[in-house]
Structure 1
Amino acid sequence: MLAGCSPTYDWRTVMNNDKGYTVDLPAKPSSDSRQIGIGGTQMPMTMQIAEAGNAVFAVGTVSLPSDDPQTQSAALDFLRTGLARNVSAAPDARTVQIPLAAGGQVPGLEMKLSGKAGEQREARTVYARLVAHGRHVYQAAIIASAPLPQEQVDQFFQSFQLY
């Protein structure tokens, strides 16, 4: 007999025309924004966040002052090292291709990190893709208390496309 009627993952496609991406999220997202300091410059970062089960799925977008490659690189490094620092892990990443909605791809970074986070030093697994495109740097990430089924990770990352 099945317990409960609602699925843990209620996938829906979210289009963010202002920030130039589309992604599938496993629940209705909430939004947040803040200023972050990258290389001595304050830049706005907005987030769309959805929680499902014991995981948080989020897409963060840093709006850059220009599409200068050095600025893009500094923002990518800031996000990569920040994610790793949050779980006391090395900021290891591999190159991956991020699809464009109009066709084609752009190079990005993919990370899978495991470690301890927070005051309680609880186990966390972080899956992330980082990419710079124009005047934006994107961080698509899943933060979970345990490794997730690969199909849920794939659903999220395979749906992430830039405009």
Structure 2
Amino acid sequence: MVRRLVGVLTLGAALAGCSPTYDWRTIMNNDNGYTVDLPAKPSNDARQIEVGGTPMQMAMQTAEAGKAVFAVGTLMLPSDDPQMQRTALDFLRTGLARNVSARPDAHAVQIPLAAGGQVPGLEMTLNGKAGEQQETRTIYARFVAHGRHVYQAAIIASQPLPQEQVDQFFQSFQLY
């Protein structure tokens, strides 16, 4: 009985691997100043958070594909003050790492501008346990400040994703 169940699950997984999980579409978010490819129709949400004692609005645009959530979060800062940008970047980076009990180690990466050129950002890949069930999660994330916006582009998955899906998402992320 167990062998039969394993066989059925294996066949189901193989067939699911043949179906198109990712239906990439380019999303232009004019309100928050970016464009990105998402693997499904996105949903939008917003919430109030406090960064360094300052209340701010964080807008989220998310799409689910397979066992992963692709998201772009945008913080609207009160000004384009470099110290406020650094504080917001640190807040997002450490918060995401804390969710999986990982160190917020990041390395420099260039984020493209839609009009040409690039701005410096940060990138990190994290693995750890999350939630009450302590389920394994892999997080791929990029962070960047541009003007009065701070962005967090992230993929949260229950297992590592094929590199081409990660690349599709991050290489398409451009700021206005």
Q: TM-score range by the shorter chain?
A: over 0.9
Choose from 140, 146, 150 the match for 1:127. 140
1:4 to partner: Cα distance: 9.3
Is 1:101 matched with 2:114? yes
Q: Within 1, Cα distance between the matches of 2:91 and 2:18?
A: 41
Q: Within 2, Cα distance between the matches of 1:40 and 1:130?
A: 20
Is 1:62 matched with 2:75? yes
Q: Within 1, Cα distance between the matches of 2:49 and 2:69?
A: 20
Q: Which amino acid aligns with 1:80?
A: R
Q: Within 1, Cα distance between the matches of 2:144 and 2:119?
A: 8
1:27 to partner: Cα distance: 0.1
Structure-to-structure mapping, 1:13-162, within 5 angstroms: 13-162=26-175
TM-score normalised per structure 2? 0.90
Please say which structure displays the higher CA radius of gyration: 2
Q: Which amino acid aligns with 2:132?
A: E
1:48 to partner: Cα distance: 0.4
Deviations 1:44-76 (A, max 9, x none): 000000000000000000000000000000000
> Structure 2: which 5+ residue stretches go unaligned?
1-13
1:7 to partner: Cα distance: 1.1
Secondary structure of residue in 2 paired with 1:10: coil
Cα distance change of structure 1 residues 3 and 72 upon mapping to structure 2, 3 Å threshold: closer
> Structure 1: which 5+ residue stretches go unaligned?
none
Deviations 1:61-103 (A, max 9, x none): 0000000000000000000000100000000000000000000
Q: Within 2, Cα distance between the matches of 1:4 and 1:114?
A: 23
Alignment size in residue pairs:
163
Task: Detail structure 1 runs of 4+ shifted over 6 Å in the superposition.
Answer: none
Q: Within 2, Cα distance between the matches of 1:4 and 1:148?
A: 13
TM-score normalised per structure 1? 0.97
